[in-house]
Amino acid sequence: MKTVLLHDNYSINKDGHFTIGGYDTVELAKEYGTPLYVLDEQKVREMCRKYNDGAKKYFKSAKILYASKALSFKGAYRIADSEGLCADTVSSGEIFTALSAGFPAEKIYFHGNNKTPFDVEYAIKNGVGCFVADNVKELEIIQETAQRLGKGKIKVLLRITPGIDPHTHVKIATGNVDSKFGESVETGQALEFVKAALEKTHIELLGYHCHVGSQSFDPKPFLDAADIMFKFISDVKKETGFEASVLNLGGGFGVRYVPEQKNLDVDYMLCHIGENVKKNCRKYGLCEPEMLFEPGRSLVAAAGITLYTVGNIKTIPGYKSYISIDGGMADNPRYALYEAPYYCLIANKADKDMDFKADIAGRCCESGDIIQPGVTIQHCSYGDILAVCVTGAYNYSMSSNYNRLEKPALVIVSKDGARLGIKRETLEDLTRNDL
């Protein structure tokens, strides 16, 4: 079997080396060391523009939100801002990082199911543009904090649970009735949530937010969610007189991780959602609200890869083989968490046949530290460079110092050259906060 190039920014050069954004990954590993995250800036920009183009084409007014939790560092916010995106954040740390990068506070949306009083105060003091409130208690904290700080009305969206099965992994499904996020339409709690917000003197209710899950390739869950949300908008208007001017349908659009999956057609998804929005507005006699979308991982996932150096190769006759690498679950815990699929290859032998079956094992002292089990890959030797594809999302952002391992560097490649986006941690960094 030959190497499959999952995305159009991947290729194999004349030396038989795997490249990303035109850059030889073997040379990057040599220059910057491993483990190494590599991010293709042009691919990120390409995805931002696809969503922006679709938003302009199919909606009266729409905004695209960059998913901080997928990849949060200063360089990512600078790219997102320059492409005209807003930012979706879920912590004071993500807000701080965005602001440190010069990202406009008014373009930041603050999500999360349990914002602390510190979080709320920090966001208000720093002029964050809009809260996505998850529950009535949060509304009370926002109201009290705004009053105490002498602030005017704080812009708020309410997170509503539509009760949709997105047909994705149970651990990344968020729109079910029994979700930890938001208030449910089905139980009547969502309507009470709205009434509570309308009573608050320091809250300016703009509309609603919902999110059905992640890694979706099919527009149907979004269409189903839109049907429920527009009926909810209509019901609330009849009950209270309030008509939402903003609706965030979430996102979580899918990404091709392995050859069996398809590439997402962004235009197709947004076209179908746009038609549905207009249909529902006609049906209920509503003005078309400003639409917000959260493409999530699909903005950055394919733009990233991780490079490792192959260490010990262990074959157990009659059982299996292991390829051990100099990273693992500390820099990519997604297989351990979700059994997430990944496509792997030997970067310096990318033109060779893939006919060696093995588990890719990390260096953490856990039997479950597996990057990917049972992959068919090129025969490799100690010192070869292993590439794990489509790691731009939820790798650096979920990395840890487990086993007291240093977090890897991240290098950004672009038409202007390669540059460090995040420095590699040192041993000294590991004890910086120790007393």
Token code pair at residue 80: 């997102």
Of 86, 130, 365, 389, which residue is the catalytic one? Answer: 365
Residues 117 and 239 in one domain: yes
Residues 100 and 202 in one domain: yes
Token code pair at residue 72: 């949060």
22 in a domain, yes or no?
yes
Q: How many other β-carbons are positioned within 10 Å of the β-carbon of residue 66?
A: 31
Residues 23 and 65 in one domain: no
Give how many domains the chain has, as a whole number: 2
Amino acid letter for position 8: D
Domain termination site, one of 270, 299, 328: 299
Residues 401 and 278 in one domain: no
N-term to C-term CA, the chain: 53
d(CA 210, CA 222): 10
pLDDT at 15 > cutoff 60: yes
Residues 81 and 155 in one domain: yes
150-159, 180-189, 346-355, 378-387: which range is least confident on average?
180-189
435 in a domain, yes or no?
no
4 in a domain, yes or no?
no
List the CATH number of the domain containing 364. Answer: 2.40.37.10
pLDDT tens for 43-91 read 999 999 999 999 999 999 999 999 999 999 999 999 999 999 999 999 9
Arithmetic mean of pLDDT, 221-242 = 95
Arithmetic mean of pLDDT, 95-106 = 98
Residues 219 and 143 in one domain: yes
* Selection from 424, 429, 412, 418 nearest residue 77 by Cα: 412
Domain termination site, one of 238, 272, 299: 299
Residues 372 and 400 in one domain: yes
281 in a domain, yes or no?
yes
Q: Which DSSP helix (H) or strand (E) runs through 96?
A: helix 92-100
Residues 409 and 262 in one domain: no
Q: Which DSSP letter does residue 346 get?
A: E
224 in a domain, yes or no?
yes
The DSSP string of 192-238 is HHHHHHHH-TTEEEEEEE---BSSB--SHHHHHHHHHHHHHHHHHHH
Q: How many other β-carbons are positioned within 10 Å of the β-carbon of residue 337?
A: 15
Residue 365 annotated as catalytic: yes
User: Which residues are within 8 A (CB) of 50 and not within 5 positions of it... i.e. 6 or more apart?
Assistant: 266, 267
283 in a domain, yes or no?
yes
Residues 337 and 256 in one domain: no
Q: Which DSSP letter does residue 302 get?
A: T
Residues 176 and 283 in one domain: yes
d(CA 131, CA 134): 9
State which residues form the domain around 369: 10-33+303-430
pLDDT value of position 76: 98
Arithmetic mean of pLDDT, 223-231 = 94
3 in a domain, yes or no?
no
Domain termination site, one of 234, 266, 299: 299
pLDDT tens for 144-175 read 999 999 999 999 999 999 877 544 434 333 44
Q: Which DSSP letter does residue 127 get?
A: T
The DSSP string of 132-154 is EE-SHHHHHHHHHHHHHHT--PE
Residues 27 and 130 in one domain: no
**Do the Cβ atoms of 412 and 78 come closer than 8 Å?**
no
d(CA 274, CA 355): 45
pLDDT tens for 334-354 read 999 999 999 999 999 999 999
Residues 367 and 252 in one domain: no
List the CATH number of the domain containing 47. Answer: 3.20.20.10
Amino acid letter for position 109: Y
5 in a domain, yes or no?
no
d(CA 169, CA 135): 25
Full-model pTM: 0.94
* Confidence category of residue 252, pLDDT binned at 50, 70, 90: confident
